[in-house]
Amino acid sequence: MSREPLPRVGWIGAGRMGAAMARRLARAGVDVAVWNRTPSKAEALVADGAEVAGSIGDLAGRDVVFTMVSSSEDLEQVLVGEGGLLIADGPVPAVVVDCSTVSTETSAAMRAAVQRRGAEFLAAPVSGNGKVVAAGKLSFVVSGSEEVYDRVAPLLGLIGRGASYVGEGETARLVKICHNLLLGVVAQSLAEITVLAEKGGVSRAAFLGFLNDSVMGSTFTRYKTPALVKLDYRPTFTPVLLRKDFDLGLRAAAELGVSMPVAALTQQLVQATIGGGRSEEDFSVLLDQMAAAAGLELKPEAAEVDDGLGAHP
């Protein structure tokens, strides 16, 4: 019995995450056309088998279009702004899958705009960074029509290792914001305890090696270990993007009447990192901030450490 052919895919947004995700589809043999505001980022995917779309409108005839952009405003622009996917007369994709981290209000508005054109919309934010994508370990949380989710699931399976369907509407947005609040709180705590251990005479490599092998170790602590040991702050996720997610999360907490004192304090510490001029580095630069507050001068360590992600296919 022959398999159903995979849909023809359009992709909007070829930044660090979007490019890594589109690359996995292209390398899996999916027909993918990519548009990015900076064309060179889309052109970099041609070697992996992707096509470059000259405009967003060129993607309108695709079966499924994924969006992976930086903000709510960017999502509105690429869908309903000037030259957006839904603006021109003519065909629109059957399904739009948005993998960005945006507000529930924007997500609901874009869902309505897509549905007015007779198409379907899935909210499908992700957990991971570019390295996680390359290792095939990205995970999705998805909300919208379950029937549409079932249709798109094979594509999600080519990009990552799993997807969790959590219901109708915008429920996936809240789940992702909760996830990123935890991400920030854990990153801050990890920075604090690593500084404490080092100031007490323990190398970062030794401390984090122990932590990763303990019951407290996680995929996150493992793949951040090389950055913390080597002081490699090349960005995978910036403090500015993390602050955006804290803003969204604390707003949701206020609306739902939930007290989040630890998250609120972490937001201020992330803001202090931005105010200190470290906004374009990786958010693991929180380590430097805690070291400075403790009067500790950090130096890169030579120890070889593993990120726990294995070989990158």
DSSP-assigned letters across all residues of 194-235: HHHHHHTT--HHHHHHHHHHSTT--HHHHHHHHHHHHT----
Write the DSSP symbol of residue 36: -
Give the pair of three-digit tokens for residue 112.
């309505």
Dist CA 284 CA 220 (whole Å): 11
Catalytic residue among 41, 137, 176, 224: 176
Q: Which residues pair with 35 in a beta bridge?
A: 12
Our answer to whether residue 176 is catalytic in this structure is: yes
**Residues contacting 278, CB < 8 A, separation 6+:** 233, 239, 285, 288, 289
Q: Token pair 């739009």 is at which residue? A: 96
Number of neighbours of residue 5 by Cβ within 10 angstroms: 9
Which residues are the active-site residues?
176
